[in-house]
Amino acid sequence: MKKAAALVVIIFSLLIILEAGQVYGKGKGKGSSSGVGRKTKEFHQKQRIEKQEHKRKQHEENRELREDLKGKTPEEKKQALKEHKKVQKQENKAFNKQRREENKTFLRQRFADNNKLTDNQKNKICKFFTKQHRENVNFRSQEQKENMAFFEKTVNDPNMTYKQKKRAIKKYMKEQKAQAKQHQREQHQERKEERERIRLEQE
């Protein structure tokens, strides 16, 4: 009974972590924005601080929930974690929406201040970022479906021991992390190529 309860907590905690990872991504760190203007650097720094605070807040909420669940039955834990994940998913959705609006506003402002780009180039840039946004939405959606299917299958597998389930989950998390990093690398390379294309058009 105790192992079943612990596994329920692990499963839903990992789902929360995976959900958060889709919001936060991985920062590039200092010195990674070479070739980017001062205003852009300041804008992204502000966003990094905001997402760190959002992440810190949700981590604290997760910690408090784990404390509150001590002594509860597996079913009570499962229901509480399900509701908690639902709330944080909505928070992350709102956070992402706000971030997209901020990015669009910032891009429009940068375009208004830029006399070097033609209207056609500006439209191409907008279409490029819209395309990447759709790719990210589709990637997250597919990832969420895979996560739910895997965790449901694993936790309900009668032929696996508690330790086997934990090892399977750890391996799965590692694979998911690698896939997310690869997706980020691909989009980073696409942005780099798009910047170079626009630069060559201006010569």
Give pLDDT tens digits for 146-193.
Answer: 988 998 899 889 999 988 988 999 999 999 999 999 999 999 999 889
- The rounded distance, in Å, linking the Cα atoms of 64 and 69 is 9
Residue 81: predicted pLDDT? 86
Domain around 48: 2-202
Q: Where are the beta strands (DSSP E) in the chain?
A: none
Other CB atoms within 10 Å distance of the CB of residue 71: 8
Q: What domain count does the chain have?
A: 1
Q: Integer distance in angstroms from the first to the last C-alpha of the chain?
A: 69
Cα 127 from chain centroid (whole Å):
22
What are the tokens at 150?
Answer: 């895997």
Cα gap 116→119, rounded to integer Å? 10
Residues 6+ apart with CB under 8 A from 66: 9, 13
Return per-residue pLDDT of the chain as tens, 203 residues.
545 445 444 445 444 444 444 444 444 444 444 445 788 889 889 999 999 999 999 999 999 998 998 888 888 888 898 899 889 989 998 998 898 889 888 888 888 888 888 888 888 888 888 898 889 889 988 998 898 899 889 988 999 998 898 899 999 999 999 999 999 999 999 988 988 888 787 76
117 within 8 A of 111, measured Cβ to Cβ? yes
Contact call for residues 65 and 92 (beta carbons, < 8 A):
no
Distance of CA 83 to the CA centre of its chain: 20
C-alpha to C-alpha distance for 118 and 142, rounded to whole angstroms: 37
Residue owning tokens 């009668």 = 158
Q: Taking the complete model, does pTM exceed 0.75, yes or no?
A: no
In sequence order, which residues have a C-beta less than 8 Å from that of residue 39 and are 6 or more positions away? 110
Q: Which two tokens stand for residue 26?
A: 């991985």
| Coil, helix or strand at residue 66 | helix
